[in-house]
Amino acid sequence: MNQTAPMPAQAAPESAASVVALIPRINIHAFCEEQSTAASIQAGGSDRRMSKAHLDVHLGGILAAIQVYQQQQTPDVLIIETKKSRDEVMSELGHLAQVCEPTTKVIVIGQINDVILYRDLIKAGISEYMVAPINEIQLIELIAGLFDDPEAEPVGRVMAFVGAKGGVGSSTIAHNVGWYIANKLASDTVIADLDMAYGTTGLDFNSDGIQGIAEALGAPDRIDQVLIDRLLTKCTDKLSLLLSPGSIDREVKVEKDALETVLEVVRKSVPYVVVDVPNIWAPWSKHTLAHADDIVIVSTPELASLRNTKNLIDHLKTVRKNDQAPILVLNQVGLPKRPEVPPAEFGKAVGVTPSYIIPHDAQTFGTASSNGQMVFEVSAKAEGSQQLVALSEKLTGREPQKVASKIKMPAILDKLKGLRKK
């Protein structure tokens, strides 16, 4: 059993959207006395943050664990539930220590909310003590903290943008948000274009840099920070692009594990990674959406988009039950002569209220696209630009910036000031 710095036993994240690190490739065994505890731990094992870990859950408590580890090596993390009193717990843990590897991190789940017991357990080398009933995301956060390197740089957030169908403007919104975060919020950002055949990142940024994402996916065994740095195309001081070929002449095979490795390396170098996910339903696109920190679904107020948006949201709620619902953006609202589903009815039908509504603005968005510019550069005051500013600030946790008042002092007040000086 390994002693670590004590943490608050019941410190839970503020919300499901709190930043919780991924659990590394470790073995986790749990011995529970209550079926409900075992079910909670088992459910936590299906969370996206636990995808790399191997979890085994058993019933039986401390005594069952002692019997098992007399015959085999203890895992990286051992979770033990007990319903015993303080003295009985300390006695049984003493027997467990005789069969437990020194490197194993032990988490005890008990029924007693007692600070003295907590201190005794920490002194005995227990890594953490939790009071039942446990919260899934709380347990995941606690395990992640046991392997956290305080000297390591924090990992960046992966923001996945996906369109409910082709042509809804998901890529345009992703590129503008990435540009704004980098150039207006001054945060290092990488935009990764995953549309190998029809990606538009190079066009939108007027860049013909190296086809970085294809090269990275073609060499999964060599993916590291040095290779990624070489494959990134520098756009501005704070913004880099991981460009796709944008050509149908070259077939690029995308493997979900290789793509996950690429994004993991990228997120270690910048605070924000904007991932432009094409409207393709494949194992790698499903995996990317399931494991992103934030998901933005871009839709248009029409029936086909409504159906696809609902299907996406229902799927993501199933595979991301400990995360907040995706952010829904309604784009191209008010397109002339097109029958539309009102935003309120759209949100009611899909189960998520649209957070941002971007009006149809062919002049601003068309000019930006033709010139290889962002909409902020064409018209910062346009309604679409203001909606994208709000979306960027929400994704980065920034407070909306207040614009300084430019109202001039009335002439009569100027005259009064002049009289006072006399």
* pLDDT at residue number 396: 93
* pLDDT at residue number 413: 36
* pLDDT at residue number 151: 67
Q: Which long-range contacts (CB under 8 A, 24 or more apart) does 65-74 make?
A: 65/29, 65/31, 65/96, 66/92, 66/95, 66/96, 66/99, 68/31, 69/96, 69/99, 69/100, 70/99, 73/101, 74/29, 74/99, 74/100, 74/101, 74/104
Once rounded to an integer, what is the mean pLDDT over residues 228-246?
Answer: 92
Once rounded to an integer, what is the mean pLDDT over residues 382-391?
Answer: 96
Which DSSP string corresponds to 351-416?
TS--SEEEE--HHHHHHHHHHT--HHHH-TTSHHHHHHHHHHHHHHTPPPPPPPP-PPPPHHHHHH
Task: Examine the pLDDT at 419 and tell me if it is beyond 80.
Answer: no
Instruction: Write out pLDDT tens, residues 5-36.
Output: 333 334 333 333 445 678 888 999 999 999 99
* Closest of 198, 184, 204 to residue 246, by C-alpha: 198
Once rounded to an integer, what is the mean pLDDT over residues 74-87?
Answer: 92
Q: Residue 182, SS3?
A: helix
Q: Which residues pair with 241 in a beta bridge?
A: 191, 233
Please report how many Cα atoms fall inside a 13 Å half-sphere around the Cα of residue 87, on the Cβ side: 0
* pLDDT at residue number 152: 66
Task: Examine the pLDDT at 1 and tell me if it is beyond 90.
Answer: no
Q: What is the CA radius of gyration of the chain?
A: 26
- Domain 157-396 in this protein, CATH class: alpha beta
Q: Which helix (H) or strand (E) holds 160?
A: strand 157-163
Once rounded to an integer, what is the mean pLDDT over residues 33-46?
Answer: 93
Q: Where along the chain do its domains lie?
A: 27-146, 157-396
Q: Do domains 27-146 and 157-396 have the same CATH topology?
A: yes
Classify domain 27-146 at the CATH topology level: Rossmann fold (3.40.50)
Token pair recorded at residue 160: 């996945």
> Residue 409 — very low, low, confident or very high, per pLDDT cuts 50/70/90?
very low
Token pair recorded at residue 40: 């909670």
**Proportion of the chain above pLDDT 90, given as a percent:** 63
Looking at 119-123, 206-210, 288-292, which range is the least confident one? 206-210
C-alpha 351: how far from chain center: 21
Q: Residue 295, SS3?
A: strand
Tokens 């300390």, residue located = 90
Decide: 388 and 364 in contact? Cβ < 8 Å. Answer: no
**Proportion of the chain above pLDDT 70, given as a percent:** 89
Once rounded to an integer, what is the mean pLDDT over residues 92-119?
Answer: 89
Task: Examine the pLDDT at 398 and tell me if it is beyond 90.
Answer: no
Max Cα-Cα span within the chain = 97
* pLDDT at residue number 406: 38
Average pLDDT, the chain: 87
